[in-house]
Structure 1
Amino acid sequence: MFWKKSPAAVLASLLVIHVLAHIDRNMLLGFSPQIVADLKISNAQYGFLVGVVWVLSFGFMAVFLGSLADRFSRTRIIAAGVFIWSLCTWASGHAESFEQMALARFFVASGEAALVPAAVSILTELFSEQKRSTVMGIFFTGIPMGIGCSFLLAGTFGASHGWRTTFYALGAAGIVIAALLAFLKEDRGRTTAHERGAPFVQQVRTVLGLMRSRPALLFLIIGFVMLHILFAGLSFTQLWMVKERGMDASSIASRIGTLQLLFGAVGSVIGGVVGDRLARRLPGGHAAVIVLFIAMCAGPMVAYRFAAPGSWAFYVGMCAGFFLPLACYGSANAGIMSMVPSQTRSTVAGFTMLSINVFAIALGNLAAGRAVDVLAAQGVSAPLTHVVLATDVIGISSAIFFALAALFSARQRDLLIPVPARA
């Protein structure tokens, strides 16, 4: 397995694939007006395509494919995932109805669910514990980079060639990458039985048992899921700015996209580097680092909801909100991986992704939207302000669970330190 001798090249390759995954995932957003018009679908159907379809497939397949990655070749699992999502991205360009697009997007999500669990496990194996937070931070810059590139492609290549041709091109590029990945061998059969994951049901039971027996792990995952409620608030931020803060819709959209791309990527890298440097010094390790990031960003994030639109406090708080979630990715993933055995890493990563997608992204957005409707129906002034502020407070409150994870991590570390014998 010669490819393991070049960890930096592996990281760069996985980052490129991660960016491609998020481009394919978000192309529906970049072409939303054209696709809605061409397929003659309703707003509700469009919301189903970008929300429910994705969560139903991506979240649950992440656990299943993660368990496979703990047993079999991770490179082949990723290659199969890239092939499936790329083929179905290409098929999305042929869709002539809502039903056809929904089916294609379901399998795009299924294929993409293979990437992160297997990639996180590979990177954890190839890089030392002292570098993992930085490595994870770099890998997860694929999220803001992919989102930004999807809108950029829609506005450039897509404007000239149309949304269907763009989907064809992305699908073809992914299929080529999948073919190249298929040549990278990883023979997991040579490892002993206890070094490989168990069959799916038994593996899931093992992971649940780990969380029951390791409070630090459980609290770290809960905190990480809870932090993602901030993305539910982000879904309504542009609407809030236009309807209740009086900002221009056309100009603020591009500004949000640019700042999110910039501060999301910067947050992911800086958060990873700082995580590696501070985790060794703080008693609570990576969980304690996240608490510091939340404490640093909480004040500006809340203040910006009350600041004058366009003021320095407004933009500082907005950028802090873009920075915080991605800044925690490196430390959160490095911390989680350090607490679990190697044969469960992909399954644990998949379980974390499932929890984030179901509880924070799907239910979080549903609850936020419902809350806006209820408050508006009751005649509450500025209902959007109430809701986005509530999502900020909930996301910031995740610091409680990260602090608990840090406390239990510190206690566990103390137990592992040998006590000198008395003379």
Structure 2
Amino acid sequence: MSDTNAKPDARAIVSLLVLSAIVGLNTVDRNMFGLLLPQIKQDIAISDAALGFLIGPAFMIVYSVAGLPIAWLADRSNRRNIVVAGLALWSGVTMLTGFAQTLAHLLVARIALGVAEASNMAPTSAIIGDLFRGGYRVIAMAVFAAGGPIAIMVFFPLIGAVAAKGEWRSAYFMMGAIGIGVALAALLVVREAPREVPAADLPELIPAGLFAVAFRMLRSPSFGLLCAAGTMISISLGAMTAWLPSFMQRVHGLDPRGTGLLLGMYRGGFGVVATLAAGLIVTLLMRRDQRWLAWSPMLLTLGLIPAQLLLLLADGPTGWHIGLALDSILMSAITPCLLALLVTLLDSRVRATGAALYLLIFNLVGQSIGPLAVGTLNDGVFVASGSHAIRTSMLIAPAALAVGAGLLAALSVRQSRELAH
């Protein structure tokens, strides 16, 4: 049996940093569409409902469905190669998005991006889960998750500056080229992590096929509660990520450059600190009581509800700035906690498959519903409110969090009972 308290070596740390950079590009390349949405809408006539579909279901359905077979393959082959090939592919798609001229072009680009980006989260989480054990796993997941806000901090202001000049297409060309360069570097630096159980032994240990394995996981009450809670958090995250740039421009009158700078500072700068701090704090708390692994995401989700209400409903700049800061901090802090809890609940033999199943539910339901619901409500129920319709529509975000917090509370109780025995 491997030593769960063994310190990671230098190769593991370097691989983690590169994988963190890759997930950062994954985050920016999918979410830059929301940042550039006002400029895209000016160039290509599209309704809010159609934009919500492009941001949500058009990307998330294929992203979620493709992730499961890719992860199943990753559990049986070289995960590093899958991650690097996926990065190269989605970077190429990102560059091609800059040539889009119609709604149909954007639809094809979002679908292709979804398939390619599905190669990242589950195999990468599995690699990190094998590279880092015990308390080091939470810290590693925090560093990994920090890649997203770091990339937003670095690239959103740059993308916003490019968009302010009317060059939203150039932003896509730029990000695609950067991704291809990182893919080449990752091929040289990252190595496949040794599994706790060799991949060659998997057919004997788990004779069932992909769907049988998935069904067995869903029969686990703890895994089911985590998936349901994650879905609610995902609805909130999807709605806020997709429509916050438009909210800031429509309701508070910011321009693309100002929006990019503000989101880069809050979502990026605050997000990095919050992600790393959460990993460190939860690791220290777990040394006192292992139940903090389940308690922490529940408490963070509860704190997010008033933060989002303040962000969406405050009229004065002081109020909504505080709300944006708190929302950025708490949402970023949740990510490593949920990932660490996920990989802890999963059998190491099917860790990538289990992570992909969680992400399938998290994204297919949550991040499809969130953006689409806001766009549809903007064009329908609240259309009479004009530019302020988006403020009311986005209230589905804190409402979803309230349900998620209840589900995480139930999971916390269950985990506490299991640890007590």
Q: How far does the alpha carbon of each residue in 1:231-262 deviate from its partner, in whole angstroms, 9 at most, with x for none? A: 2442455666676xx63333973535532223
| 8 A contact 2:267–2:328 mirrored in 1 | yes
Structure-2 separation of matches of 1:196 and 1:95: 48
Q: Mapping of 1:40-189 within 5 angstroms?
A: 40-43=44-47, 46-156=51-161, 162-182=167-187, 186=192
**What SS does structure 1 have at the residue aligned with 2:317?**
coil
Q: Distance in 2 between matches of 1:378 and 1:70?
A: 51
Deviations along 1:4-62, whole A, 9 cap, x unmatched?
76111011111111222233323444544655566x45346555443332113212111
1:246-395 → structure 2 map (5 Å cutoff): 247-250=252-255, 253=259, 254-282=261-289, 284-303=291-310, 307=314, 309-311=316-318, 313-371=319-377, 375-376=381-382, 386-395=392-401
Native 8 Å contact 2:75 2:199 kept in 1: no
Residue 392 of structure 1: CA displacement?
A: 0.8
| Between 329-338 and 259-268, the greater mean CA deviation after superposition | 259-268
Tell me which amino acid in the other structure corresponds to 1:353. Answer: L
Which residue, 11, 34, 37 being the options, matches 1:6? 11
TM-score, normalising length: structure 2: 0.82
Q: Which runs of 5+ in 1 are unaligned?
A: 416-423
**Cα 1:328/1:354, change in 2 over 3 Å:** same
| Root mean square deviation, CA, Å | 3.5
- Work out whether 1:219 is the aligned partner of 2:248: no
SS in 2 for 1:114: coil
Q: Distance in 1 between matches of 2:101 and 2:245?
A: 30
Q: Distance in 1 between matches of 2:105 and 2:391?
A: 37
Aligned sequence identity (%) = 23
CA shift at 1:81, angstroms?
0.6
Query: d(CA) in 1 for partners of 2:254 and 2:166?
Result: 26
**1:79 positional shift:** 1.6
**Partner residue of 1:207?**
214
- What is the CA–CA distance in structure 2 between the aligned matches of 1:289 and 1:306, rounded to whole Å? 27
Displacement of 1:338 in angstroms is 0.7
1:366–1:158 CA distance, 2 compared to 1 (3 A)? closer
Q: Is the 8 A contact 2:311 2:324 kept in 1?
A: yes
Whether the 8 Å contact between 2:75 and 2:351 is mirrored in structure 1 is: yes
Contact 1:287–1:406 (8 Å) recurs in 2: yes
2:3 maps to none
Does structure 1 conserve the Cα–Cα contact (< 8 Å) formed by 2:234 and 2:362?
A: yes
Preserved CA contact (<8 Å) 2:56 2:372:
no
| SS of residue in 2 equivalent to 1:6 | helix
What is the Cα deviation at residue 118 of structure 1? 0.9
Q: Which has the larger radius of gyration?
A: 1
**C-alpha separation between the residues in 1 aligned to 2:105 and 2:394?**
34
The answer to whether the 8 A contact 2:154-2:268 is kept is no
The one of 227, 230, 238 aligned to 2:236: 230
- Shift in CA distance, 108/130, structure 1 to aligned 2, threshold 3 Å: same
2:213 corresponds to which letter in structure 1?
T
C-alpha contact (below 8 Å) 1:71/1:196 kept by paired residues: no
How many residue pairs match? The answer is 406
Q: 2-side partners of 1:368 and 1:329: how far apart?
A: 23
Between stretches 275-284 and 338-347, larger displacement belongs to: 275-284
CA-to-aligned-CA distance 1:169-213 (integer Å, 9 cap, x gap): 4434433443454466648896442389969x813321331231x
